[in-house]
Amino acid sequence: MNTFVALPEHLRNAHGECALPHLGIIHAQGADAANFLHNQLSNDFLLLPPDQARLAAFCNAKGRMQASFIGFKTSPDDVWLILRHDLLAQTLKRLRMFVLRAKVVMNDVSEQYEVRGLLGDALPADLGAAPWSLQVQPQAWTVRLYPAQGHGRALQVVPVGAAVTTAALDLHDWLLSEVLSGVADVQAATFEAFVPQMLNFESVDGVNFKKGCYPGQEVVARSQFRGTLKRRAYLASASAALQAGQEVFSASDPSQPSGVVAQACDHPVQGHWALVCLQTSALEDAAGGLATAQGAGLTLHPLPYALRDDI
């Protein structure tokens, strides 16, 4: 893969906050809220400390991701889940199907609370340094995310209409930072397209292999521990605009897709970037060319974090 140039100067100088209308919020409340979600998602919510958040996948029985979340607790009986807004209604409906006798009520609270993105100097100075650190303040909960090539990033949940306390951030800059961080989420266009490892979730603390069962757990564990993983997410720049869900082909075999675009950003200054889930065998063909059916050529770049082989 080509050497990745340092963070684009434009983004290096980007600081501030912006609303993220593509994200919504589910609030799970009740004595069994944490236990219920622990049994449904790929990460541990029972032992979730008050100063940490969790990245997690919600899978079907075949281990395919139907949604991904960033979740945190504000009390033992209150769990908040941030996810793509275009999957919220159907995800909430499916979660409610499994409640049965559990003491938990889940609601879409996106009209009462909003998600904001914080970049660079806008992050609170006392926010924990590690990804998924959580800071709890009155009516504001901030989660540190994986950085974008070393540039700090965080999500913040606040009541709708809360005052903006830092400089305004262009949404395009935030969307580019999402891709450059190397951590994709699941959206409507990629519903059931990936098992968690295809998005490198095991390498960014999105899967706990020691916790109990959840839907798709056997498939996820088998993918990890039996043989090598055959698909991974990679960072790519492109010659034209990309969209999540587009198939990617290699020049050596243009008849069969080698992967799919997981997340994309078309930046007015920095161009076209994406996280692309590819067959690992396709990396050998990358020098010969990778492109979408629509003709966008792709160039691969190293991920900003190491892929973990030993979990």
Q: How far is CA 129 from CA 134, 200, 274, in A?
A: 10, 21, 26
3-state secondary structure of 273: strand
What type of residue is 48? L
pLDDT in tens, the chain (311 residues): 444 456 777 788 899 999 999 999 999 999 999 999 999 999 999 999 999 999 999 999 999 999 999 999 999 999 999 999 999 999 999 999 999 999 999 999 999 999 999 999 999 999 999 999 999 998 899 999 999 988 999 999 999 999 988 999 999 999 999 999 999 999 999 999 999 999 999 999 999 998 888 999 988 888 776 656 789 999 999 999 999 999 999 887 888 899 999 999 999 999 999 999 999 887 766 556 899 988 899 999 989 999 987 65
- Structure confidence at residue 183 (pLDDT): 98
- Structure confidence at residue 241 (pLDDT): 95
pTM: 0.94
Q: List the helix and strand counts (H, then E) for the chain.
A: 5, 16
- Structure confidence at residue 1 (pLDDT): 46
Beta carbons of 298 and 248 less than 8 angstroms apart: yes
Dist CA 217 CA 209 (whole Å): 9
Unique residue bearing structure tokens 């079907």: 60
Pair type for strands 231-238 and 247-250: unpaired
N residues, the chain: 311
- Structure confidence at residue 3 (pLDDT): 46
Q: How far is CA 170 from CA 39, 162, 271, in A?
A: 38, 18, 15
Domains in the chain, please, with CATH?
A: 16-169 (3.30.1360.120), 188-301 (2.40.30.160)
Unique residue bearing structure tokens 């908040």: 80
DSSP H stretches of helix in the chain: 9-12, 33-38, 85-97, 171-180, 217-225
Beta carbons of 118 and 17 less than 8 angstroms apart: yes
Q: How far is CA 169 from CA 103, 140, 146, in A?
A: 40, 18, 18
- Structure confidence at residue 11 (pLDDT): 82
